[in-house]
Structure 1
Amino acid sequence: MALVTRRGRRSRTGVSRRSQRRRTIRALRAEGRYGPRLRDVLPALAVVVVAFCAVVAGLATAYRALGPGIPVGALVVLAVVVPAVVRHNRPLARRRLGYYTPEELADLDAHGLALAVSRMLRRDGWRVLSVPDTPDRPRVRARDGSGHRMEVAFRPVAEPLPDEDPPTRSGRRAQAGPHVRLVVHRGTFSHRDVQWARRQGGVRLIDGSHLRRWAHGTHLDELTDVS
C-alpha cells in the first residue's frame, strides 16, 4: 500500500512538472523569448537543403563535363566568400564597418551616434582625427586624401550654441584645405536651420532620412556636396 502511494505521488509530481513546463513554454513563446518552433524554421531549412543539393549537383555536373578544375575553383570561392558574407552581416561586425539599421540608429545616444558617424566616415574614405572628449557635446573631425577637412556637430538645431565659436578659416589651418561643417540630426531640420546653413557657407545638413541612407551604405558624396 505504501509502495502504491509513493508511485502515485511520483506520478502526480511528474504530471505537475510537465504541466508547469508547458505553461512556462507557452508564456515564453507569447513573449517571443522561447525561440522558433519546428514548423517556423522548416521552410527555411527546406530552402537550405534544396540549395545545398543544387550546389552539389552543379559541382558534380561540372566535374563530369569540365574536369576537376572548375569544381575546385568554385569550392575555393565559396570558402572565401561565404565566411566574409557571414561576418559582414553579423550586427557587431556590420556596425564596425559603418553600416547601421534605422532601429540601431534610433537606439543610439549622442556619443553612440558620434561613433557611428566616425565609422561611416572611415567607410567612405575619411580619416577620423582624435578630438578631446566633451561629455555634453560630442564632436567628430576628419580629413580626406584631398586635404578637405570636416567638422561634424550633433544637435537638433543647426545654429551654434552661445558658447560655441564657428569654425576658423584663417591661418595655418585654412591652408590645409577647404573646411566643411556637417550638422547631423536624426530628425528634420526647420526652415530656419536651412536658411542659417545657407548664410554660413560651408555648412551641410544631414537630417534623419539622409542619415538612414548614409548608414545603409550610400556614400556621403551622394548625399551632400562635401568637396
Structure 2
Amino acid sequence: MARLSWTSGPPRSSFSRRRHTVRRLRDQGLYGPRFRDVLPGLAGAVVVVCAVAAGLAVGYRAAGPVVPVAGVGLLSLVVAVEMRRRRPGARRRRGRYTADELRELDVQGLALAVARILRRDGWRVRLLPAPDRPRLYARDATGRQLDVAFRPVAEPLPDEALPDPRTRRDATGPRLQLVVHRGAFRDRDVRWAQRQGDTRLLDGPTLERWAGGTHMDTLFDPPLWS
C-alpha cells in the first residue's frame, strides 16, 4: 500500500477544488464576471421593468386597455429597431467596424469601410476605384478636403511619392493626404510623410479606434487640422 508523504496535506473537498479552479480561471481572464459585477446592470434592468409595468398599470386605470396595448406595441417596436441596429451589417453601414472585421477586409473592402466611417463623421465622400489601389476624396461642410490612400497589409510605404490624384482642385479650403494602413508604419514612412508636408499616416491601432466610434478630430495628437 502506498504511503502518504509527510508533505501531503488533507484531501481537498470538491467545493475547495472548484473554488481554486474558479480563482485560477479568473486570474487568467477566462471566467465570467462575479455576481457583484453584474448586480448594477441587473438592478437597473429590474427598475426599468418595474417602471414600465407601473406605467402600464396606471395607464390601464386611467384610459382602459388601450394604453397597455399601445405601450406593449411601442416597446416591441423599440426592441425590434434596436436589435436591427445592432446587427453587424447595419452597424457596418453606419461606419462602425470591429478590429476583427477590419482584418478580414481586402483593400477594396477597406476603402469602402473608410468611406462609411468618413460619412459617419459628416464627410461627403467620393470613391475613386482602381484595380489595385483605390483612393477616396472627401470634403466636409467647413471646406476641409482629404485625399485618402490605402496600403495593403504588410506592404511598406515606398520612399518615393505616391501617385497623386490631387490634380482637380475644384474646391477651396485646406487639403491633406491621409495614408491608411492596417499595419505599422516604419521610420522611413514617417520621414517620407514629414517631407510631403501635407501628408498624415493612420496606422492599424488608430484605424481600429476610428472604426470603433472615435471621431476623426480627436484621433491625432496634434490634431489632423492643427
TM-score between the two structures when normalised by the length of structure 1? 0.64
Matched, 1:101 2:85: no
Q: Cα RMSD over matched residues?
A: 3.3
In 1, are the aligned partners of 2:60 and 2:67 still within 8 Å (CA)? no
Alignment partner of 1:139 out of 131, 135, 151 = 135
Indicate the SS of the match to 2:169: helix
Structure 2 unaligned segments of length 5 or more: list them: 1-41
How has the CA–CA distance of structure 1 residues 189 and 86 changed in structure 2, closer, same or farther, with 3 Å as cutoff? same
Measured in 2, the distance between the counterparts of 1:213 and 1:205 equals 14
Aligned-pair CA distance for 1:89: 0.6
Paired residue for 1:212?
Answer: 208
Aligned-partner residue type, residue 200 of structure 2: R
Residues 65 and 181 (structure 1), Cα distance of their counterparts in 2 relative to 1, 3 Å cut: farther
Once residues 76 and 180 of structure 1 are traced to their aligned partners in structure 2, the CA distance between those partners, rounded to angstroms, is 50
SS at match of 2:149: strand
> How far did 1:180 drift?
1.1
Please tell me whether residue 149 in structure 1 is matched to residue 162 in structure 2. Answer: no
Q: Matched residues in 1 for 2:157 and 2:86: separation? A: 34
How many corresponding residue pairs? 175
Identify which of 89, 94, 114 aligns with 1:92. Answer: 89
Q: Retained in 1: the 8 A contact 2:115–2:125?
A: yes
C-alpha contact 1:129 1:141 (8 A) present in aligned 2: yes
Q: Contact conserved, 1:110 with 1:154, CA < 8 A, in 2?
A: yes
Instruction: Read off the aligned partner of 2:190 and give its amino acid letter.
Output: V
Which has the larger helix fraction? 1
Is 1:81 matched with 2:78? yes
| Shift in Å, 1:199 | 2.3
Supply the distance in 2 between the matched residues of 1:139 and 1:77 (Cα, whole angstroms). Answer: 44
**Alpha carbons of 1:80 and 1:177: their partners in 2 closer, same or farther (altered >3 Å)?**
farther
Question: Does structure 2 retain, via aligned residues, the 8 Å contact 1:62–1:71?
Answer: no
> Is the Cα contact below 8 Å between 2:136 and 2:149 reproduced in 1?
yes
2:112 corresponds to which of 115, 139, 163: 115
Q: What amino acid does structure 2 have at the position aligned with 1:183? A: V
Provide the TM-score with structure 2 as the length reference.
0.64
Asked if the contact 2:159–2:189 (Cα under 8 Å) also holds between the matched residues in 1, the reply is no
Q: Give the distance between the partners of 1:221 and 1:66, measured in 2 at CA.
A: 50
Letter in 1 for 2:178: L
Letter in 2 for 1:202: D
Aligned partner of 1:18 in structure 2 is none
Matches within 5 A, 1:1-227: 54=50, 57-63=53-59, 78-79=75-76, 81-131=78-128, 133-155=129-151, 156-159=155-158, 164-166=162-164, 168=166, 173=169, 176-224=172-220, 225-227=223-225
